[in-house]
Amino acid sequence: MNLRANFDFGFLQRDILARAASLLETGEGDRGRQVLSALRPEQIGTVQEAIIATEMFLDVHELDAALAAAKRANELDPQHSEAQELLMECRYRIDLPAIWRSESQDIRTRLERLNALASARQPAPDAPIHIVCNLESVGGSERRALNLQRLLSTRASTTLWSTTSPHPAHSQAADIHVISPGSAPVNGTLVLIGTFFPCDNWLQENRFERVIICHNLVGQNQSVVRRLQEIEDNPSHPPVQLTFPSKMFRDLLDLPGTVEYSPVDLAHFLRRRPHSESTSSLTIGRHGRAYALKFHPNDAAFFRKLLDLGHRVKVVGGSVIAPAFARDPGATPEWIKPGALDSRDFLQALDVFVYRKHPLWVETGGSVILEAMAMELPVVVFPEQCGCAELIAHGQNGFLVSSEAEAHDIIERLRAEPDLRRRIGGSARQTLIDLQHRQEPELLARYRGEPPR
């Protein structure tokens, strides 16, 4: 009797999928990945099970395994539209480095052609500066636009524009003009903070002496190409410069341009109460947009461990992982809606700031990390493809960790040593003071069209 022939391999695969799904639903990404490692895609019996397997492998960033599961789904039903879409998504994610190289070359070619056509002229000393962004949300691009306007407005005629109605928090912080058919930037230097928003016909029709584009999202490479095409169609033929929020991102794309760290408002992000002296528990937190890829698949488990160790956890923008704690009987993180609390007030209530994101997300800058450093917080950062991590010297002005175990060990050390928290936090703020002292003259010259200093 052939026992192997009578064994139900499909049942075994379904059991693995069920156990992995249960773990992933509770935010136990690492344990879920470990369970999924036993899955054999070629033994999956139904197209729906293969689709579920593909989605879970993608969630935990096991791209080769996801591709194998997607291929199995297409073998089981070649006409299944969802299976076909998942197969394309798997191949796209695996091919991303090559896609980025190709897109980068397109940007470089377009930029060189555009600047070859540009008129060689310097803007007048009093020429206006227009900063444009979509300010309807609270996020890194929006903070960058506000920071730049605050800095430049003291030295030059600077107008901050939003392509849509701005978020109330931004309206309270700055004078913002909303672009409309009868009101749009014209003349002087145009500064585009990102390319994730449409600019309509004014970009192609209005005259500008120069254009500076902050390229700050890797997923917007094609948008940069389209934006350069629109500028090339402008009869005034302004020259275009690129800026990048980190050296990591500029090097990733291998493009010409200037690294420009977001100039955090150091007067606003200033600690106004002493550090806690507690050695019993710490308040640990992070903040950012409520976007799934801003969180690691194992973040819920990571936070759960911190809670088990007796710490308090506060998360702004954590609604996307909050369901993972739905059945937890004990303590859970405090969830805070983005924009509900001033970032300074949130950070001032913390003892330690932690940051990690999904492996699929490239954190080109990380202004939230800079704000935490300005608030004299020791930051614990998982540095993979995280731009601002390049400003952190491990053990001097923050901590760079490669595993949760290392992060927990450092946090426990910070718990036991209030002096260490103060020393690291003080060094973190001094890093930003020194950075802005170096960067500000170059930044002012760049936007005013003066020779480099």
The pLDDT, as a whole number, for residue 119 is 76
DSSP-assigned letters across all residues of 91-108: HHHHTHHHHHHHHHHHHH
Mean pLDDT, range 289-294, rounded to an integer? 91
The structural domains of the chain, ordered by start, are: 3-94 (1.25.40.10), 99-260 (3.40.50), 283-436 (3.40.50.2000)
Structure token pair of residue 379? 């930051």
Locus of tokens 């002296």: 277
- pLDDT, tens digit, 9 for 90 and up, residues 200-250: 899 999 999 999 999 999 899 999 999 999 999 999 999 999 999 999 999
Three-state secondary-structure class, residue 400: strand
- What is the length of the chain? 453
Q: pLDDT tens digit string along 362-376? A: 999 999 999 999 999
Q: CA 42, 85, 196: angle at the middle one, nearest 5? A: 140
Q: For 335-360, b where at least 16 C-beta lie within 10 A, e where not — what string?
A: bbebeebebbebbbebbbbbbbbbbe
The residues that bridge with 380 in the sheet, in sequence order, are 354, 399
pLDDT at 161 over 50: yes
pLDDT digits (tens, 9 = 90+) for 402-417: 999 999 999 999 999 9
pLDDT band at residue 120 using 50, 70 and 90 as cut-offs: low
Looking at residue 5, what is its pLDDT? 40
